[in-house]
């Protein structure tokens, strides 16, 4: 999926503080969601459909996605 990211308003979680290893999120047109690496803002971004973003968030909340070291 591709999207125009030129006017996106990117933000990161307030829980990330000043840590360098963060992702940034932007809510885009058509309810899509962009995700990018905060250390490489000019680099590529992932774009999720509303359904896929909801599934990802549900997985995070349920603990499905965890650190390989965790």
What token pair was written down for 9?
């308003």
Contact 46, 34 (CB under 8 A): yes
Confidence (pLDDT) at 58 = 93
More confident residue, 41 or 10: 10
Strand order in the sheet with 23-27: 23-27, 33-37, 45-48
Residue with the bigger pLDDT between 70 and 42: it is 42
* Sequence-ordered list of residues with C-beta below 8 angstroms from that of 18, at least 6 positions apart, any chain: none
Judged against a pLDDT cut of 60, whether residue 67 lies above it is answered with yes
pLDDT value for 36: 93
pLDDT digits (tens, 9 = 90+) for 16-57: 766 667 889 999 988 999 999 988 888 999 999 999 999 999
Judged against a pLDDT cut of 90, whether residue 4 lies above it is answered with: no
């Amino acid at each position: 999926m591709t999207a125009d990211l030129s006017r996106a308003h990117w933000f990161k979680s307030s829980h990330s503080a000043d840590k360098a290893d963060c992702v940034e999120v932007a809510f885009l047109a058509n309810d899509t969601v962009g995700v990018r690496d905060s250390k490489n803002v000019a680099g590529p971004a992932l774009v999720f459909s509303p359904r896929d973003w909801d599934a990802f968030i549900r997985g995070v909340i349920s603990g499905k996605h965890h650190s390989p070291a965790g």
